[in-house]
Amino acid sequence: MTYAAPVEQIEFILSRVIAYSEVQETDRFAEATQDTTRAILAEAGKLAGQVLAPLNRSGDQVPARLENGRVRSSPGYAEGFAAIAEGGWIGLAADPEYGGMGLPMTLNMAVAEMMSGACLALQLNPLLTQGQIEALEHHASEELKALYLPKLNSGEWSGTMNLTEPGAGSDVGALTTRAERHEDGTYRITGQKIFITWGDSDVTSNVCHAVLARLPDGARGTRGISLFMVPKFLPDDQGNPGVANSIKVVSLEEKMGIHGSPTCVMSYEGATGWLIGEEHKGMASMFTMMNCARLGVGVQGVGVAEAALQQAVAYAGERNQMGLIINHPDVRRMLATARAEVFAARAICLACASAIDMQRATGAAEHAARAAFLTPIAKAYGTDVGCRVADTGVQVHGGMGYIEETGAAQYLRDARITPIYEGTNGIQAMDLVGRKLADGGDAAMRLLDEILDNAKAANGAHHDLSERVWQAGETMREATLAMMERDLPERFGGAVPFLMAFARVLGAHYHLRAAMAGSAAHVALARVYISRVLPRYASDLAEARAGLEELTAISDAALAGDFSA
């Protein structure tokens, strides 16, 4: 079936569910009117459905390949990327001074969802490029900005993020890549990086690598790491790709999914680089890029979930087994629950993006704190929903879902990486209960106050729904206060279920808002979520309260199946 971008669903959330109107009312984003927003969403929807979606299956069947040290992209990817670049979609939220459009991140994330649903493997390229643009805007010298940002915004060049090494995955501080100062002010970078998304490509004329490395006098751990711009081709005096840098693509990873996205093992052999930001403070620059990518990855989960669900609904509406299976109670349960979760995850991601826009437009600490708090929730819940709904899609197809011919399995294979990269969902949860509660729970309590106030406002027309949301909000407040009383190791033992509980309560909140503002169909969908999905928060919190004691009591031997001791 053909993917149809959910333009109307996104527009409804922006206009009726989250605080996007507040973004539009700021001076910075005054041009992002309803008409402009509607037009951009419509055009992005056409690009996603008509240009990118046809590439999804072919990219899976004919992966990117390495030939004579050069990556060759999947059929049609160069043309698909060109359409993205020519439409100005990469620089949608970037600084107009360097060729960007300066539009809200909320709108950018809405477009990213549609592109992800159409062809995740290709959308990964602009996602990483946009993250690099973000890092350069905030941390790079004026010379680097002037040279790289216009090329990245236009799509002439693409960007990557180089963190992971064979011995340093999530423990970035253990990296061994070296940087040495050169007399001309540049640096020489030597080391190997793995899992580099779109680390090489023939869809752009240059690939720009943001590489973490340690200088000789850099302290151990993350505090001694610096960030460098290391391009595939060294720019000449006119800023065009010149001689090749000392960079080699060692191999491409053979992955479970996203086959059209070349995931490279990169070798830097005294490659020339330029410092981004300050020496020994590379993690601050990289985190700017990673935070942008984390929300983007959550949105990717939503996009894949939407595409998988569309295919499952279409199949269920055609498959006849004692009547159309879409009318079977259990199939209807799967589809309705999946649709409710997609709505909730989409609303959480767009609310997070809206908070980022408000922080940019106003500089207010309250908006910055909200964006920071919502980011790990958006990333983890969005990607978990992506996997869960893709898995449901396979189940709805029955035996045919397990057959590659239908394409249902591809969504599950593609989505499965999203809870892992840009910080696993476990890391997101630890960030939530650690750093994000370090403000004494202020950001969390502000969100919970809104949930409770909204539930009270809905008490008349939707009493049965509002009462359950209000009670969940109160329980979540108590659980948050209890979490803050624990030390960090105890918090970490219950971090993932705590995050999921908070996500489910937030999802119920946005569904209730939709029920108050939307049609009878929105009320029906809210009833599905609040009746069938929200109650799971209670079991999540029961697990979160369990802490570490029983986890540490079981031995490594018992985990391996040896119960002799």
Catalytic (active-site) positions: 422
Candidates 155, 164, 98; CA nearest to 123 is 155
**Integer Cα distance of 424 and 486 in angstroms:** 23
With tokens 């751990």, the residue in question is 221
Distances (CA, A) of 472 to 240, 302, 391: 57, 24, 27
Long-range CB pairs of 164-173, under 8 A, 24+ apart, other chains included: 164/193, 164/194, 164/195, 164/196, 165/191, 165/192, 165/193, 165/194, 166/192, 166/194, 170/423, 170/424, 170/427, 172/212, 172/222, 172/225, 172/283, 173/220, 173/221, 173/222, 173/223, 173/225
128: amino acid identity, one letter: L
Q: Which residues fall within 8 angstroms of residue 157, CB to CB, at 6 or more apart? A: 148, 151, 204, 205, 206, 207, 208, 231
Tokens of 170: 């999530």
How is 60-71 classified by DSSP, letter by letter?
A: HHS--EEETTEE
Q: Which residue spans within 357-511 are E strands per DSSP?
A: none
H or E segment and range at residue 273? strand 263-276
Spatial CA neighbour of 273 closest among 200, 208, 224, 219: 208
3-state secondary structure of 313: helix
* Torsion angle of C-alpha atoms 80, 288, 183, 273, degrees rounded to 10: -20
**Alpha carbon 77 to chain centroid distance?**
21
CB-CB contact of 338 with 533 (8 Å): no
Element (H, E) at 229: strand 225-231
